[in-house]
Chains A and B, each alone.
Chain A
Amino acid sequence: MRRRTRVGKRYRVLAPGGAGRAVGAARRSADGRVPLGIMSVPSTTPHPAAANSGDGSGSARPTPRRDLGSSVWPRLEPLLPQVTKPIQYVGGELGAVVKDWDAAAVRWALMYPDAYEVGLPNQGVQILYEVLNELPDVLAERTYAVWPDLEKLMRARGVPQFTVDAHRSVRDFDVFGVSFSTELGYTNLLTAIDLAGIPLLAADRTDADPVIVAGGHAAFNPEPIADFVDAAVLGDGEEAVLEITTIVREWKAEGCPGGRDELLLRLARTESVYVPRFYDVDYLPDGRIQRVVPNRADVPFRVHKRTTMDLDAWPYPKKPLVPLAETVHERYAVEIFRGCTRGCRFCQAGMITRPVRERSITTVGQMVQQGLEFSGFHEVGLLSLSSADHSEIGDMCSGLAEQYAGTNVSLSLPSTRVDAFNIDLAQELSRNGRRTGLTFAPEGGSERIRKVINKMVSKEDLIRTVVTAYSNGWRQVKLYFMCGLPTETDADVLEIADMAHEVIRAGRAATGSKDIRCTVSIGGFVPKPHTPFQWASMTTPEVIDHRLRLLKQAINADRSLGRAIGFRYHDGEPSLIEGLLSRGDRRVGAVIRRVWENGGRFDGWSEHFSYQRWVDAAAEVLPAFGVDLDWYTTRERDELEVLPWDHLDSGLDKDWLWQDWQDSLSEYEQDDCRWTPCFDCGVCPSMDTEIQIGPTGKKLLPLTPINGAGLRIPAASPQ
């Protein structure tokens, strides 16, 4: 595949001059796409906001009451020439859907609370967007966090938080769903709520405001944002959004009886939607939680997570969004299974998404075919928490590689366990000539610490696997580790250097070349709710930074090997704040608010994150409650402490979690229940679910050649 047989004639595409006003402008972006520009001022000419605008935007005049669902585009457009990457705000992507406002009974605004470039590729939002828009009487649009430059202009001109699809005000929707993969999006949530003109506090909202629903992994402890959201949904979203839609549709059809309160009550009665206002939290004199109890008779004591079984019945995304602006992932991503029972003790995703539910090889094949045909992407990402663990991963990769041989479609497995990767997989992944990056995550440097975290990967496995990759043409491999794990010592971290040195030594020996590299990437450990480490104390940023300095010295102690090893790390401070937010309770909401009021935005971005701002806000706000930042982060919890999320049921038995925590401290390993008997984590019986895995024994069949010249005209999206 290194040589192209024949390059056909070049074609030219033209947009000749025409009469009338220009509607669009094509320009070249860095990645060679042709994004849409509807602006009319050179970006190099900054114009201060005109105090007395006469440009037709009407911004200087008091805004008359708009019709609900009307477009804010006429007021937004004049601002775009003045901001960076305006293309991210214009919408109109392939796969985007704009529906008739008046014909919709239930209207959702879906947000990923980060910039477009991070938010657009998010699978969760794309799936829910499609699931909802497939319903004839439901409309779903997307909104992303706006950068501070546009936020400032929107505030000055009174432009509300808008959706990118039809540029409607978020406040006009019935439901505002926000998906949190990480707690660092909380300040962006506040910006969006505030820009939308919705009261910041749920308690202050009226029937004119949407119901704000949080979802995603961070929603398994929504207590820090309990004051700002109206509800939270735990677990898989596909069926949850449909259930919420049904409840909203019926309530509206009945004439909205009982107002907002009644709607929230109906949601709460499902026992799978958590409505924080219906629960009271009492505290002990020492600051710990005494209890969390419903304050209404007909609300459940515990709220349970949703689990979508049979992923073959939910083959989304079918029509993936193709971004106009550059984004972090530009590929067709298909989840090949959900859930993971490898049992890594730090891994919240693995704990809260149990049991493992595989998508069958044939469904994956069909989704890839349709997804690529619709989108034109050249990369397929086979996603899951540990992709090489799929029972038919070998046949899946070879089948797809065979189907797309001779094309520019490449395959990637973003999460690959060292012990499940092998030479066959390596060859299938590199068949089309292009090798996507390989990342392995031993997580811990020493055998001892890997027993503590239950990531049972041996050093020999790692060396063998990485050498396999080097021998198959990869020049670069990334190794991911954590620092600050429970019981960790300096020595555990320093073993990372030995491991990296040996990887390079073995790689050089196997390939006979000095042209191989590895990157050691270190993240700070953050204890998460619903994991065996939920009781653990965090290591202070000072200790973490010290260990990282020692590690860097150790890596570079051997000049020759050190040159081939890249070293990337996040320092300890952001992790500490993430720790505050992930295990926080309702009192932490006041810290989030203070940080936001002091300008905190985009906390997941190192150039925007300010550790000092969080420390200061915590110091201002928390003493009134008799607690402080350390109390939430570096303090170890005991067995009997009521945790802020105890009333939220992930299916995991708290006694089992505690036992696993004790096993961790005695360096005792736990097997995977896919291959060994059930160890009673509690999820399957309490959630009425079961492991769904293959093998099915089926294979992927060759694709029939595409018709004629291979041109395909995408179906127009509904207007």
Chain B
Amino acid sequence: MPIAFSQGFTPHPKISYASAAPTGVASEAEYLEIGLREPVDPEQLRAALDAALSPGLDVLDAVVAAGGSLADRIEASYWRIELPEVDPAVLKDAVAAFAAAEEVQVERMTKQGRRTFDARAAVVKIDVIPAPETPFGAAAVPCAILELVVRQVTPSVRPDDVLSGLRAVADLEPPVSPRVIRLAQGTLTAQGAIVDPLDADRDGAAIV
């Protein structure tokens, strides 16, 4: 790939990630920007990257950036959190308490040290959704599923911060590790829907 490099004593390849998912979190919607030295066909670029990356790390689409910053178009993330062995009714109550709160202070270690911040305001949408029929093979084990739309803010509010918030407002303590999946990222409509951040580039590319 004819990747561009930064100037300077130790040039680095030009790659930037917009709001990368935290370690240990699954994702179906990660975005990155790559600077190139010369134009290439986006589909060829996608195929080349996909072939070089590990199985399970799939590059699904590439477009030519029409302008503006990718980071500006990542306004919110859509998450699903599966909580095995949590009773959906208990989760519902916790979510109601969380949603009713003006603000919910949580703590997390950041690179700058331990920080306390509000995990409530950034949460645009928080719902308990019905579990599929037999989610984990063992029908007897209940599983509650939470869906979230969280606005991109600083410091970022991550799914684990929302879980910390549920612990703070309702003592919700998942007995086993939750499974977190990012389902989408993009611009946020007034209705709380997320729009594919590359849509604008697709239109732009068509004009060029």
Listed A/B pairs (8) with beta-carbon separation below 8 Å:
A10-B14, A12-B33, A16-B184, A16-B196, A26-B32, A27-B23, A41-B177, A55-B136
Min CB–CB distance B7 → chain A (angstroms): 7
Q: Is the CB of A13 within 8 A of B59?
A: yes
Tell me the minimal C-beta distance from B173 to chain A in angstroms: 10
Give the shortest distance, in Å, between A402 (CB) and chain B (any CB): 20
Q: How far is the CA of A408 from the CA of B61 in the complex (A)?
A: 27
> Nearest residue in B to A719 (C-beta to C-beta)?
B55
A37-B21, A712-B48 known; 16 new pairs, CB 8 Å cut-off, are A4-B5, A7-B35, A9-B36, A10-B35, A17-B29, A18-B60, A24-B26, A26-B27, A28-B20, A43-B23, A55-B177, A78-B177, A80-B24, A81-B177, A87-B23, A713-B44
A-B pairs with CB below 8 Å: how many? 271
B176, CB-defined interface residue at 8 Å:
yes
Whether the pair B62, A14 counts as a contact (CB closer than 8 A) is yes
Return the CB mask of A568-584 against B: 1 if under 8 Å, else 0: 00000000000000000
Q: Kindly identify, within residues 172 to 196 of chain B, every residue whose CB is under 8 Å from any CB belonging to chain A.
A: 175-184, 196
Most B CB within 10 A of own CB, among A9, A13, A43 = A13
A438 within 8 A of B: no
**A17-B79 Cα distance, complex, nearest whole Å:** 11
Q: How far is the CA of A33 from the CA of B118 in the complex (A)?
A: 31
Residues of chain B within 8 A of A47, CB atoms compared: 176-177
A42 near B63 with CB under 8 A, answer no
Number of interface residues of A (CB under 8 A): 67
Name the CB-closest residue of B to A710: B2
Question: A44 at interface (Cβ–Cβ under 8 A)?
Answer: yes
In contact, A26 and B20 (Cβ under 8 angstroms): yes
Interface assignment of B65: CB less than 8 Å from any CB of chain A: yes
A interface footprint on B153-174 (CB within 8 Å = 1, 0 otherwise): 0000011100110000000000
Judged by DSSP, the binding face of A is: loop
Closest chain A CB from B70 CB (angstroms) = 6
Knowing A25-B25, A26-B20, A42-B159 touch, does A92 contact B56 (C-beta < 8 A)? yes
Cβ distance A480 to chain B, nearest Cβ, rounded Å: 23
A612 at the interface (CB under 8 A from B): no
Structural contact, B198 and A12, CB atoms closer than 8 A: yes
**CB atoms of A56 and B57 under 8 A apart:** no
* Set of chain A residues within 8 Å of B61, measured between Cβ atoms: 13-16
Say yes or no for B49: interface residue by CB 8 A criterion.
Answer: yes
Nearest A-chain residue to B80, judged by Cβ: A22
CB distance from B51 to the nearest CB of A (A): 5
**Residues of B bordering A, CB below 8 Å:** 1-2, 4-5, 7, 9-15, 17, 20-42, 44-49, 51-65, 70, 78, 82, 84-85, 108-109, 136-138, 141, 158-160, 163-164, 175-184, 196-198, 201
Q: Is the CB of A25 within 8 A of B182?
A: yes
B51–A714 touching, CB < 8 Å: yes
User: Within the assembled complex, what's the spacing in Å between the Cα atoms of A322 and B54?
Assistant: 10
A487 interface residue, CB < 8 Å from B?
no
| A38:B37 contact, CB within 8 angstroms | no
- Residue in chain B with minimal CB distance to A98: B55
Q: When chains A and B are docked, how far (Å) is the Cα of A296 from the Cα of B180?
A: 61
Task: Determine whether the beta carbon of A709 is less than 8 Å from that of B63.
Answer: no
Q: B27–A24 contact, CB under 8 A?
A: yes
Chain B, Cβ-Cβ closest to A39: B24
Complex: how many Å from CA A24 to CA B57?
6
- In chain A, positions 697-719 with a C-beta closer than 8 Å to chain B are 709-716
User: Which single residue of chain B is at the shortest CB-CB distance from A81?
Assistant: B24
CB contacts (< 8 Å) of B109 on chain A: these are: 44
A36 touches B51 (CB 8 A): no
CB within 8 Å for A12 and B24 given contacts A4-B4, A56-B138, A713-B51: no
Is B176 a contact of A50 with CB atoms below 8 Å? yes
- Is B160 touching A44 in the complex (CB atoms < 8 A)? yes
| Shortest Cβ distance from B164 into A: residue | A45
When distances are taken between beta carbons in the complex, the residues of chain B under 8 Å from A713 are: 44, 47-48, 51
A376 within 8 A of B: yes
Complex contacts, B24 vs chain A, CB 8 Å: 25, 37, 39-43, 80-81, 86
Which chain B residue lies CB-closest to A715? B51
The residue on B at minimum CB distance from A96 is B54
Which of B32, B58, B65 has the most A CB atoms < 10 Å from its CB? B32
B28 touches A54 (CB 8 A): no
- Known A-B contacts A711-B45, A712-B48, A714-B52; the reply to A25 vs B37 at CB < 8 A is no
CB distance A25 to B52 under 8 Å? no
Chain B residues with CB below 8 A from A21, complex form: 181
Against B, the Cβ 8 Å flags (1 = close, 0 = not) of A61-87 are 000000000000000001011100011
In the complex, A86→B38 CA distance in Å? 36
CA distance A17 to B65 in the complex (A): 19
Q: Which residues of A contact B198 (CB under 8 A)?
A: 12, 14, 16
Check if A22 sits within 8 Å of B27, measured CB to CB: yes
**What separation, in Å, do the CA atoms of A376 and B53 have in the docked complex?**
12
| A253–chain B nearest beta-carbon distance, Å | 33
Contacts of A36 in B (CB 8 A): 53-54, 56-57
With A40-B180, A54-B141, A56-B137 in contact, is A11–B62 under 8 Å at CB? yes
Inter-chain contacts of B70 with A (CB < 8 A): 12
CB of A677 within 8 Å of the partner chain: no
B25-A39 in contact (CB<8A): yes
Contact in complex: A9, B65 (CB < 8 Å): yes
- Residue A23 is within 8 A (CB to CB) of chain B in the complex: yes
Is A94 in contact with B52, judged by CB distance below 8 angstroms?
Answer: yes
Q: Which residue from chain B places its CB closest to the CB of A31 in the assembled complex?
A: B12
Chain A residue at smallest Cβ distance from B9: A434
Q: Does A34 contact B (CB under 8 A)?
A: yes
Determine if A93 is an interface residue (Cβ-Cβ < 8 Å): yes
Q: What residues of B have a CB within 8 angstroms of the CB of A433 in the complex?
A: 11
Contacting pair B63 A14 (CB below 8 A) = yes
Residues 509-539 (chain A) with a chain B CB within 8 angstroms: none
Known contacts A15-B59, A28-B17, A41-B180; A54/B85 CB under 8 A: yes
Q: Please, which residues of chain B bring their CB within 8 A of the CB of A34?
A: 17, 30, 32, 53, 57
Chain B residue contacts of A408, Cβ below 8 A: 5, 11, 13
* Residue numbers in A under 8 Å from B136 (CB-CB): 54-56
Chain A residues positioned under 8 Å from B197 (CB to CB): 14
Task: Given A10-B35, A40-B178, A56-B137, decide whether A27 and B59 contact each other with a Cβ distance below 8 A.
Answer: no
Complex Cα gap A716–B55 (Å): 10
A376 touches B52 (CB 8 A): yes
Please name all residues of chain B whose beta carbon is closer than 8 Å to the beta carbon of A710 when the two chains form the complex: 1-2, 38, 40
Which chain B residues lie closer than 8 Å to A91 at the CB level? Answer: 54
